[in-house]
Chain A
Amino acid sequence: MNIVLNGVTVAIKSPPLASLLTVLREELNVTSTKVGCEQGGCGACTALVNGKPQRTCLTPIAAVDGASVTTVEGLGDSDHLTAVQQSFVNHYAAQCGFCTPAMIIAATAYLEGNGSSDREEIEEALKGHTCRCTGYQKIVSAVAAAVAETTFDLTVTTPSPNTVIKSGGQT
């Protein structure tokens, strides 16, 4: 088995019913996908599978053999943040940060699907994600601002100028 993780093909040795979450964290050392509930309810383990947000805790690795998997590590790094990442910084949308990688993944998919800056639509798009800290308002503001500010190319998994938002977002 293999997956294309953040643009790089990697072979998988874990058993076929291991969850994608376990494979990412324990075999591949990709720890942005968090172990929350392992019941699909908190959203903290979400990654993009073939471009769609998916609960990695509910996904047997054998079901995604050959698939493209994008985690937040594949979106940008501290020098080249994507629009959504930069907007989360600008809007103080993280406190403890546990939910943040998956929130950014879900928001990235929302932008990629031409989501609008309407707060209710953003709340609907993120409703599978629990945040214990922020009260959600700043997260929704960050996503709304990212929608307004960005040209965003999800197909680029290594940061390029296209995936970078210039500073100057609302603070």
Chain B
Amino acid sequence: MSVDVLIPETTDAAVEAFGDGTDITVIAGGTIVMQLLNYRRITVSKAMLLNKAGLSYLRQSDSTWTVGAMTPLSDLLGMFSPLGACAANVADHEVQYQATIGGNLCAPTPPEHPSGDLQGPLIALGATVRSVGAGGERTDGVEEFLASRAGRLVLDISFETPQAGAFAALDRPHTRHFTALAVSGVKSGDTVRLAATGVGPVGVRLLSAEAAAGDPEAAGNAALADAVLRDDALASAWYRERTLPSLVARVLNEIKEAS
């Protein structure tokens, strides 16, 4: 079957070509889509490559950062925790050059494992996502975006420099594609936001743990109420139940030390 491949050379052209997103497969770095194509797990009739669409940028204005959807993870490595630390934990250096922040946010969630490790730090940072699709341009919080991302083309993601931040993850043997469990935390003023990946199909905010953030041990245990733990190819629910509280406590202790 022949595939219609579009390679827009400006952001406007990409937005126009995407339209309402019907039947179009977006290819950013391709580190997920190409695996699916190689194994014939998806069929594509129309694809849009974003590599020339002018969406790779990292802009800072005072404390506000705006990161273009096509920005490779290698450009995020030096950034503050939890974002920089999480990007450094993804795959290996070679994949980090190719993999993008937009592709990570939009990583499909197969039944075998969780995906999209950067969703955790972006939820903790209270980031917003600018996207286009049916109904035009929209800016959503990350969780709202994740709940309604079908048919959207991400343009960029914005967040503030945090006062302090921390990231903790289970060790990942070799280049497993996703981290079995990771926790991100961000302190701004008197509030701490916490989020986890590996506890559901997409990243989850840990609201109960946030409410108990003054006591890291108690917050760790409270986090279990925020997560629906499952067995998958990377870890069992049993293992996650025992490790989530300690990752939450570690993040909160690191934030305390840093602030």
Contacts and interface: CB of A to CB of B under 8 A. Distances in A.
B225 interface: no
Q: How large is the interface on A (under 10, 10 to 19, 20 to 34, 35 or more residues)?
A: 20 to 34
A63 B91 contact: no
B31 A17 contact: no
Contact of B98 (A54, A125, A130): A54
B98 A59 contact: yes
B218 to A, nearest CB: 37
B3 A17 contact: yes
Contacts of B175: 40-41, 127-128
B78 to A, nearest CB: 15
Given A17-B44, A52-B97, A127-B175, A57 B5 contact: no
Contacts, number: 83
A57 B34 contact: yes
Contacts of B238: none
Interface string B173-191: 0110100000000000000
Interface in B36-52: 37-39, 44, 47, 49, 51
Given A52-B94, A57-B34, A59-B98, 4 more contacts: A17-B3, A43-B94, A58-B35, A128-B93
Nearest first, the 6 A-B pairs at minimum CB distance are A128-B92, A38-B38, A16-B5, A58-B34, A53-B94, A39-B35
Interface of B: 2-3, 5, 7, 27, 29-31, 34-35, 37-39, 44, 47, 49, 51, 91-95, 97-98, 174-175, 177
Interface of A: 15-17, 19, 38-41, 43, 46, 52-55, 57-60, 62-63, 65, 106, 124-125, 127-128, 130
